[in-house]
């Protein structure tokens, strides 16, 4: 009776078992990360719903731009006298953007952030840069919500 060497088969089985253990660990990590993200979203949602609108300002952001198809990351610094540290800020369009005298109807701008210094809204945002050598003006509405004191 010939002898059969099963070492290769045993090595393959051990490798498959190790891969299965790692896959289970990855699945558990993904489940924990998803749960943490859900908890964070629920916490933010609760905070926003409990917050009260305390100020609203209108501002026109202007940028000189050249021909480009990429989005431009930038910081938007806006004076807001009633803004207090910790306020939640929501920025929405307040009208249609313009380039010179041409009104555009297809650009969308929205951002959120927090007030880090009293009296100044400082948020990161992305300006669309699809204009041809002109001054892009975006009328914005900034709304400040103050979470309830803990």
Contact 80, 54 (CB under 8 A): no
Give the pLDDT confidence score for residue 67 in this predicted structure: 53
pLDDT digits (tens, 9 = 90+) for 46-63: 766 777 788 899 988 887
Which residue has better confidence, 80 or 51? Answer: 80
- Per-domain boundaries in the chain: 1-50, 52-146
Q: How many CB atoms lie within 10 A of CB 30?
A: 10
Give the pLDDT confidence score for residue 37 in this predicted structure: 85
Has residue 39 got a pLDDT over 70?
yes
Give the pLDDT confidence score for residue 66 in this predicted structure: 58
Enter the CATH code of domain 52-146: 2.60.40
Give the pLDDT mean for 141-148: 85
Give the pLDDT confidence score for residue 103 in this predicted structure: 78
What are the phi and psi torsion angles at 148 (to 5°)? Answer: -65, 145
Give the pLDDT mean for 104-109: 71
Indicate the average pLDDT of the chain: 80
* Tokens coding 67: 């021909």
* Tokens coding 41: 């979203």
């Amino acid at each position: 009776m010939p002898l059969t060497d099963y070492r290769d088969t045993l090595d393959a089985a051990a490798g498959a078992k190790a891969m299965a253990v790692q896959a289970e660990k990855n699945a558990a990590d993904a489940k924990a990360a998803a749960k943490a993200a859900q908890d964070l979203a629920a916490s933010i949602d609760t905070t926003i719903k409990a917050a009260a609108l305390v100020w609203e300002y209108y501002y026109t952001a202007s940028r000189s731009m050249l021909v480009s198809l990429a989005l431009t990351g930038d910081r938007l610094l806006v004076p807001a006298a009633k803004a207090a540290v910790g306020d939640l800020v929501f920025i929405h369009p307040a009208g249609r953007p313009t380039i010179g005298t041409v009104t555009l109807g297809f650009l969308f701008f929205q951002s959120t952030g927090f007030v880090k210094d009293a009296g100044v809204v400082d948020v990161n945002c992305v300006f669309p840069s699809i204009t041809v050598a002109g001054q892009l003006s975006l009328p914005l509405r900034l709304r400040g919500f103050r979470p309830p004191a803990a």
